[in-house]
Amino acid sequence: MARVAVIGDVGGHPDELLRALRELGAGNGQLPPGLVVVQVGDLVDRGPDSTGVLDVVAPFLGGRWVQLAGNHEAQYLPSATVFWPQPIPPAGVRTLREWWSDGRMQVAAAITTGGDEYLLTHAGLTLTAWRQLGEPTSAARAADLLNERPDLIWYTGAHVRDDRAGPLWAESGAALHEPWMQYDGVVPFGQIHGHSTVVHFGQQRWRCDGRVRQRTTVDWQARHVRVRVGGRVFIGVDPGHGVTGAPGWQPLVLDDAEVHPVPAQA
């Protein structure tokens, strides 16, 4: 068992990441004993220093740090199309490709804590994508299948309500939550994701209505969103840093948790 900190989208803000790591007791490329970090992707773009973020993360990889890919990392991988108007420098692209090639950057992980099981991806696994994956009944099995990098992970979705979007691209609310709420079977596991939320933290307003809003609890200070879905909980951890950085946010910390795949030195 370990203490697990899930860090949401960083978006090119190394100072925000460093502050969070200091509060977790990390420093000089070292995590404190008993702590595992899972970062859900979108390390780069938007903020002032994407290269600086990669420099912060690099010393932790290969230890008790699980790095997931987001759509902003995916655009820099081989054969992908760069969509961000201010791409990161070539050295950063090489770094991301190395992490992807040697497995230091993955698609998914799973966490078990307090008898609950969560699948961690960048954007969340939609009902349609879960079915395409073969309807795995455990988060660990779903993570293993996603880490084989099936084609479904790359699908961007045709619009924000498209629940065929893969776990790098699915949007909260209409694509991720609503179809799962309409599912008449047993929701197999909870989820933890970044990428988008059903609220706008900066303006403290909702981006959804109806059943999703009724089943949502928001921690406005930590910038976490919990949506109750069929007896499970889907937790959003994207703090919405934008260009300037969020004025206040916290990693999601889970005590007495197990991570799959087991990171090195855990």
Which residues have C-beta within 8 Å of that of residue 141, sequence separation ≥ 6? none
Calpha distance 257→62 (Å, rounded): 19
Q: Which of 25-29, 119-123, 260-264 has the lowest mean pLDDT?
A: 260-264
Which residue did the predictor score with more confidence, 173 or 159?
173
Which region, left, alpha or beta, applies to residue 125 given φ > 0 means left and ψ of -120 to 50 means alpha? beta
For the chain, the first-to-last Cα distance in angstroms comes to 9
Say what the pLDDT of residue 263 is.
82
Number of H helices, E strands in the chain: 8, 13
- Would you place residue 229 in the very low, low, confident or very high pLDDT band (cuts 50, 70, 90)? very high
Say what the pLDDT of residue 46 is.
95
With H, G, I as helix, E, B as strand and everything else as coil, classify residue 145: helix
Q: Which of 111-120, 127-136, 241-250 has the lowest mean pLDDT?
A: 241-250
Q: Which two tokens stand for residue 133?
A: 């994956």
Say what the pLDDT of residue 266 is.
58
156, pLDDT greater than 90 = yes
Calpha distance 1→252 (Å, rounded): 16
Per CATH, is 2-260 categorized as 3.40.50?
no
168, pLDDT greater than 90 = yes
Q: Which two tokens stand for residue 91?
A: 């050295």
Say what the pLDDT of residue 85 is.
96
- Would you place residue 30 in the very low, low, confident or very high pLDDT band (cuts 50, 70, 90)? very high
The greatest distance separating any two alpha carbons of the chain, rounded to the nearest whole angstrom, comes to 49
pLDDT digits 0-9 by tens, 34-76: 999 999 999 999 999 999 999 999 999 999 999 999 999 999 9
73 exposed, middle or buried (CB, 10 Å; 0-12, 13-18, 19+)?
Answer: buried
Q: What is the mean pLDDT of the chain?
A: 96
Mean pLDDT of 89-105: 98
159, pLDDT greater than 90 = no
> Full-prediction pTM beyond 0.75?
yes
Percent of the chain whose pLDDT exceeds 90: 90
Say what the pLDDT of residue 67 is.
98
265, pLDDT greater than 80 = no
pLDDT digits 0-9 by tens, 125-141: 999 999 999 999 999 99
Say what the pLDDT of residue 160 is.
81
